[in-house]
């Protein structure tokens, strides 16, 4: 296969020429989770000269800050087909990669490298030390033990295919690196997408994913801080509808929590196209439904006739502050007696509790995991090896790809899987040249 000599440069052509460095077997562009997993896997399988180039002053920054400093490493999801359903972009294509390296494999990998992961009640897996620094230390130790070199503050500004095979890279320090293989694992940073695009790849335009929703409902947002389980959400965006059920957190601007984040992940592109406008219907009844809610209200009217509405709450799962907000939204004075609840007020309460309509007016400033939907088109990558179908010897993994998962450790899992597959494939590709590992 003849590879065209394509090049990308983020700097002016008047910069000083690059100074040549010794050749490498593998250079990983990006010191994040996918890059580290690939570098360690390749080195442990016999690739001798592996170098990680990281643009920022330190590696694994996203690992360090994720999960509130705890790092949700992966999820207790054992079936590859089920695991793939947690990815709004890439669900079907990822079944193959996950059949080779999935959550159980990640747990075993970290255990073999000295880090025990513990499952929480919701399936999320955290390091036993309950701090993300333990994950960072584990990956750093494994890289050091495998002989991986790490160079920070080295943003790659030029990448090209060499006429005789392999690649040459020039970083911001004007150092020229020669390498047989390259792994692009630069996360969501635009520089990595530019490098991939110049080497022939199509970039699916990135848009935010995993974000809270701003809604116009003052009485509801006044209950900021309240979280409820088993809340059903039905989002209408144009002619598309998205549904989700789970835990919802009320914020001072609208709604968030796992169910909302999952909802917005699947609706990310539709919401972006609509400028984050839509209609959200919320069922706060906890699965009771309109008939049983109506029955509860009628029972309260009979049995609590002399008590005030605000004092005799017929729904145990609703915090009193939220119940009072619903009364306000229904136009009902909470100081009135249950005996005085009108039929119209009852209908209003049933509608609010089972199908409250909220006008979506925008999104939160960032996704909980700072995830984007978009990146290199998956059809241009051989997902069995993570090698580019456009440029031989180039591999891609992590958030650079058009893959994103919901919260719960799924985005990191895509990095572990892609990085491991790439590292394994790179070692196999170099073995015939360098001899068996």
The pLDDT, as a whole number, for residue 370 is 60
Query: Residue 19: pLDDT band by 50, 70, 90 thresholds?
Result: low
Average of per-residue pLDDT values in the chain = 92
The pLDDT, as a whole number, for residue 266 is 97
What does the pLDDT look like over 168-221, one tens digit per residue? 999 888 889 999 999 999 998 999 999 999 999 999 999 999 999 999 999 999
Considering the four listed CATH numbers 3.40.50.20, 3.20.20.70, 3.50.50.60, 3.40.50.300, the one that applies to the domain covering 7-208+369-434 is: 3.50.50.60
The pair of structure tokens assigned to 272 is 């972006």
Mean pLDDT within 91-106: 97
Say if residue 3's pLDDT is above 50.
Answer: no
The DSSP bridge pattern shows strands 50-54 and 19-29 to be parallel
The pair of structure tokens assigned to 79 is 């079936």
Q: Are 26 and 50 in contact (CB under 8 A)?
A: yes
Roughly how many angstroms between the first and final C-alpha of the chain, as a whole number?
A: 26
The pLDDT, as a whole number, for residue 5 is 42
The pair of structure tokens assigned to 78 is 């054992």
Write out the DSSP string of 52-82. Answer: EEESSSSS-HHHHHGGGGT---EE----HHH
Strand locations in 64-155 (E): 74-75, 117-119, 124-127, 149-152
What would you report as the CA-atom Rg of the chain, rounded to the nearest whole angstrom? 26
Query: Residue 308: pLDDT band by 50, 70, 90 thresholds?
Result: very high
Mean pLDDT within 407-412: 95
Q: How many angstroms separate the CA atoms of 49 and 59, rounded?
A: 19
Query: Residue 13: pLDDT band by 50, 70, 90 thresholds?
Result: very low
Q: Which residues contact 112 (CB under 8 A, 6 or more apart)?
A: none
Say if residue 60's pLDDT is above 60.
Answer: yes
Q: How many helices (H) and strands (E) does the chain have?
A: 14, 21
What does the pLDDT look like over 101-115, one tens digit per residue? 999 999 999 999 999
Closest CA to 285 of 219, 338, 230: 230
Confirm whether pTM is higher than 0.85.
Answer: yes
In the chain, CATH 3.50.50.60 sits at 7-208+369-434
Query: Across the strands, what pairs with 357?
Result: 281
């Amino acid at each position: 296969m003849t590879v065209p000599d394509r090049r990308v440069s983020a700097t002016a052509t008047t910069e000083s020429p690059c100074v040549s460095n010794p050749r490498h077997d593998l250079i990983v562009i990006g010191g994040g989770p996918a890059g580290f997993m690939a570098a360690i896997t390749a080195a442990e399988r016999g690739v001798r000269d592996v170098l990680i180039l990281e643009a920022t002053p330190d590696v694994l920054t996203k690992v360090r800050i994720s999960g509130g400093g705890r790092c949700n490493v992966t999820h207790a999801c054992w079936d590859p087909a089920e695991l793939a359903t947690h990815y709004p972009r890439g669900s079907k294509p990822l079944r193959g990669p996950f059949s080779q390296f999935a959550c159980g494999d990640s747990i075993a990998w970290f255990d073999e490298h000295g880090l025990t992961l513990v499952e929480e009640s919701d399936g999320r897996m955290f390091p036993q030390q309950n701090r993300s620094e333990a994950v960072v230390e584990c990956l750093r130790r494994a890289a050091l033990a495998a002989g991986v070199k790490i160079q920070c503050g080295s943003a790659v500004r030029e990448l090209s295919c060499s006429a005789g095979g392999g690649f040459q890279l020039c970083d911001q320090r004007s150092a020229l690196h020669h390498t047989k293989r390259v792994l692009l694992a630069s996360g969501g940073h635009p520089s990595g997408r530019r490098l991939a695009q110049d080497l022939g790849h199509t970039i699916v335009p990135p848009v935010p994913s995993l974000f809270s929703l701003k809604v116009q409902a003052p009485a509801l947002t006044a209950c900021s801080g309240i979280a409820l389980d088993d809340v059903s959400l039905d989002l209408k965006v144009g002619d598309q509808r998205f549904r989700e059920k789970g835990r919802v957190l009320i914020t001072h601007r609208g709604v968030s929590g796992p169910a909302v984040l999952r909802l917005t992940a699947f609706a990310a592109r539709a919401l972006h196209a609509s400028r984050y406008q839509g209609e959200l219907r919320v069922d706060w009844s906890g699965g009771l439904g309109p008939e049983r809610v109506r029955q509860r209200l009628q029972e309260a009217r009979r049995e609590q006739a002399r008590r005030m509405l605000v004092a005799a709450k017929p729904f145990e799962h609703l915090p009193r502050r939220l119940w009072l907000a619903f009364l306000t939204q229904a136009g009902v004075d909470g100081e009135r007696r249950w005996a005085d609840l009108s039929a119209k007020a009852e209908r209003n309460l049933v509608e609010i509790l089972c199908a409250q309509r909220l006008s979506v007016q925008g999104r939160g400033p960032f996704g909980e995991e700072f995830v984007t939907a978009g990146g290199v088109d998956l059809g241009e990558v051989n997902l069995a090896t993570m090698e580019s179908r456009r440029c031989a010897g180039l591999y891609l993994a992590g958030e650079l790809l058009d893959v994103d998962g919901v919260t719960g450790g799924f985005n990191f899992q895509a990095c572990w899987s892609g990085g491991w597959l790439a590292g394994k494939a790179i070692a196999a590709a170099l073995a015939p040249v360098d001899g068996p590992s």
